[in-house]
Structure 1
Amino acid sequence: MRKRATFAVLAAVTALGGFTAPAAYADETVGDIQITNVSVNGGKNVVVGVTDKTITVSLTATDPSGIWDADFYLWRGPDGTDPYYSADDYVTPNEDTTPADCIASSATTSTCSKTFTFEPDWWLTNAHAGTWKVGVQAWANDDSRTERYAYTTTRIQRLSKLTANAGPEPVAAGKTLTVTGKLSRANWDTLAYAGYTAQPVKLQFRKAGTSTYSTVKTVNTSSTGALSTTVTASTDGYWRWSFAGTSTTPAVSAAGDFVDVQ
């Protein structure tokens, strides 16, 4: 069975992955080892719906003796403090094996990876959406080692959905067209989708036979995430809503709804 990701609000923890936690926040490197790249979820934000989401985190490291192992952790907390002892939230990989899955590209360089699973039905709550720091560790065959507490960051976001409906269809030229929709996002506390309130959403139109949408106006969502506005029908085309996203919720655009103007 897959090992569940470990999650804790830390007051104190013991050494992780062979490193002894230093007394103060500071990166550490011993020897010639270097980390040259870190990738979280292929460079994309971690967007989670109401079911489990597993991602891969990898690093590329180099050392004259070759790379032996690597480890990773995600955390949130005040800058300037040691995540081992003062992180608000802390997540470790699914795999607790040593060494990690490392693939050598040369005698000196390898890319190592592990996976993380985000589980709304277990530990993930709405409060965890936002920016997380990515800590990484790597070891070489000659015992050189390095640790970077916050090599990069990633965003963990609540999956968003957006609908659009324009009517009546067909509509006479010059008559009023009503465009409605709803912006919702995953609620990790209830394992359902709920309206995203008080958010600016753009109403966009694409004329039939063209490929580009143009913004007509911006409307704020209601207390239930609903959208509604009116426009004057002039020509055949597609109407949609488009949301730019926030730090906790990804951008999303509804599928265009075609209206025949007669």
Structure 2
Amino acid sequence: MRMRATLGVVTGALALSALAVPAAQADEVEGDTTISNVVVNGGKAAVVGSTAKKTITVSFTVKDSSGVDWAQAILYHGANIDSSDSGAVANSSDGRASCTRVSATTSNCKSSFDLRPGYNLINSVAGGWKVWAIAAGKDADYVQKDNAKSFNVQRLSKLTVNASPEPVKKGKTITVTGKLTRANWDRGTYNGYSTQPVKLQFRKKSSSTYTTVKTIKTSTTGDLKTTVKATQDGYFRYSFAGTSTTPAVSAAGDFVDVK
């Protein structure tokens, strides 16, 4: 079992603390130890705002015929953990996962991670992340996975809408404005998300379903503006489908009274 004293995952935002782990060149297996059922943040993307930290968990199952000795997981962004450009460290004092014995050969393990804007989160690392994981049996068998699970870390999005004038005469023009913004982890603010397709949708007063009227793109500052004809009472909203770096979001409907 190849060992090293430190894991050199270094970026401008974060350097991982010293951990005694095997060299992370590629997946390795020695003996019958297995890692399975890896779940990150309950199976959902980790969506983080502009300033507040978000704590997420990684859970997984470890099996070994001799019993499970210990396990560990690390989150990272990049081609592999040795060349990653960001990471997060488990909250436990020694970096190891907390494992609960299920049987003589099986344990369920869990680690917690803090994602912090401006520290281990910068704008350039939004999108796909990976879980590096290792587990060892009591007989010194072990398994190491460079990508035990992939998941997304996203910049929280916000979307507004305003339809005017209200009330409005039937057949007259309604102007619908709004803005799509997302968390800027570098600055701790929210900034416009430019040139993104956004749907203008309408819901009749008597209905619970929105239908798409048209699709427009945000400006370079994230602003939205378009016009429609007033036909009947109802709610207008903008709806954004999301990207790998930014989650989907819909504005609350703005009611227009048509006279």
Task: Provide TM-score, normalisation by structure 2.
Answer: 0.88
* SS of corresponding position for 2:42: helix
- Equivalent residues of 2:155, 2:247 under 8 A apart: yes
The structure-2 alpha-carbon separation of the partners of 1:99 and 1:249, relative to structure 1 and needing over 3 Å to count, comes to closer
- C-alpha distance in 2 between matches for 1:103 and 1:238: 51
- 1:9 aligns with 11
**Which AA in structure 2 matches 1:163?**
T
Q: Match of 2:40, as an amino acid? A: V
Aligned position for 1:252: 249
1:169 & 1:105 partners in 2: Cα distance? 62
Aligned-pair identity in percent equals 53
Q: Which moved more, 1:155-164 or 1:117-126?
A: 117-126
Secondary structure, aligned partner of 2:124: helix
SS of the equivalent of 2:258 reads coil
In 2, Cα distance between equivalents of 1:137 and 1:241: 44
* Residues 130-149 of structure 1 aligned to structure 2 (within 5 Å): 130-149=127-146
Corresponding position of 2:66: 65
The answer to whether structure 1 residue 83 and structure 2 residue 85 are counterparts is: no
Distance 2:143 2:191 in 1: 43
Residues 10-29 of structure 1 correspond to what in structure 2 (within 5 A)?
A: 18-21=20-23, 25-29=25-29
- The count of corresponding residues between Structure 1 and Structure 2 is 249
Measured in 2, the distance between the counterparts of 1:7 and 1:87 equals: 6
C-alpha deviation, 1:135, in angstroms: 0.8
CA distance in 2 between counterparts of 1:115 and 1:207 reads 45
CA contact (8 A) 1:177 1:232 kept: yes
Counterpart CA distance in 2 for 1:148 and 1:190 is 34
Contact 2:17–2:89 at 8 Å: present in 1 too?
no
SS in 2 for 1:58: strand
Task: Tell me if the contact between 1:8 and 1:91 (Cα under 8 Å) persists in the aligned partners.
Answer: no
Picking from 167, 170, 176, the partner of 2:164 is 167
> Pairwise CA RMSD of aligned residues?
2.4
Give 1:256 deviation, angstroms: 0.9
User: For structure 1, which runs of at least 5 residues remain unmatched after alignment?
Assistant: 1-5
Q: 2:204 pairs with 204, 207, 225, which one?
A: 207
1:175 positional shift: 1.3
Q: Which runs of 5+ in 2 are unaligned?
A: 1-7
Greater mean deviation of Cα atoms: 158-167 or 138-147: 138-147
TM-score scaled to structure 1, two decimals?
0.87
